[in-house]
Amino acid sequence: AKAGLREEIPGKTAKRREPGVATLTGNINTAAYWDQIWAKEGQNTWRKYPLTFKKITAHIEPSETVLDLGCGAGVFLDIIRPHCKKVAGLDFSPVAINLLQAKGIEGKVCELPEIGYPDKSFDVVAAAEIVEHLDDPVGLLKEASRVARKKVIFTVPDNVLGPEEFLEHRQLFTRETLEELIRQLFDDFEIESFADTFPTPTVKISLPTLLAICNLKPEEVKP
């Protein structure tokens, strides 16, 4: 890994790194790795982002359908399903999808960036704290824009790494590099900065976060 990326985070605020984007090394994101995590946590997961989920939900209409990428056990979908027409989730962990389906929520095992749904299957495709885990964020956003009818909404940490994320994250974004990524695919978008509270098993930290809302019109999506 790049020097300085694996130091412990002092106090209760995630530490910002030097400006820029990095592709991190030491990737441990496999289905087996996440199966083990979800088998241990089950439905009682600590992976909750209250303000993040609230902000994403604010951009979804009651009449809209939503697909959540990297849904895990369905924490976000369980929150949002009373507020929209239909929800579904994708995850590459069979254990996570079993937990999701146990809640009565549609779910598929699928390894991102591939999304196993036909074109324009959902009004909104969402991904909370997922893009930074992938080697191919452009590929994921291309797939998301294919499956979405109206918009793609996602969040990433704002140039920080928490203590649980040294080996799980593959990308390190700033607002500038996130904008560069989005401009490859979308013309109509906005980025919002905020700080969420991230309750790790050992400490609560303040997590600087970037929210991207990418509005989708066929003529505006770049090939």
pLDDT for 17 beyond 50: no
Q: Can you give the CATH number for the domain in which 48 is found?
A: 3.40.50.150
Confidence of residue 182 (pLDDT cuts 50, 70, 90): very high
Domain range for 106 is 22-217
- Mean pLDDT calculated for residue range 60-80: 93
| Residue predicted with more confidence, 222 or 67 | 67
Confidence of residue 213 (pLDDT cuts 50, 70, 90): very high
pLDDT for 77 beyond 50: yes
Residue 19: per-residue pLDDT? 38
Question: Is residue 14 assigned to a domain?
Answer: no
pLDDT for 66 beyond 90: yes
- Mean pLDDT calculated for residue range 3-18: 34
Question: Is residue 117 assigned to a domain?
Answer: yes
Question: Is residue 171 assigned to a domain?
Answer: yes
| Token pair of 129 as six digits | 């704290």
**At residue 38, what is the residue type?**
W
- Render 142-184 in DSSP notation, one character per residue: HHHHHHEEEEEEEEEESSB--TT-TTT--EE--HHHHHHHHHT
pLDDT for 25 beyond 80: no
Question: Is residue 135 assigned to a domain?
Answer: yes
Residue 135: per-residue pLDDT? 86
Number of domains in the chain: 1
pTM equals: 0.78
Q: How many whole angstroms separate alpha carbon 182 and alpha carbon 188?
A: 9
* Window from 13-17, 56-60, 158-162, 189-193 with minimum mean pLDDT: 13-17
3-state secondary structure 66-103: EEEECCCCCHHHHHHHHHCCEEEEEECCHHHHHHHHHC
Computed over every residue of the chain, the mean pLDDT equals 80
pLDDT for 3 beyond 50: no
Residue 170: per-residue pLDDT? 76
Question: Is residue 196 assigned to a domain?
Answer: yes
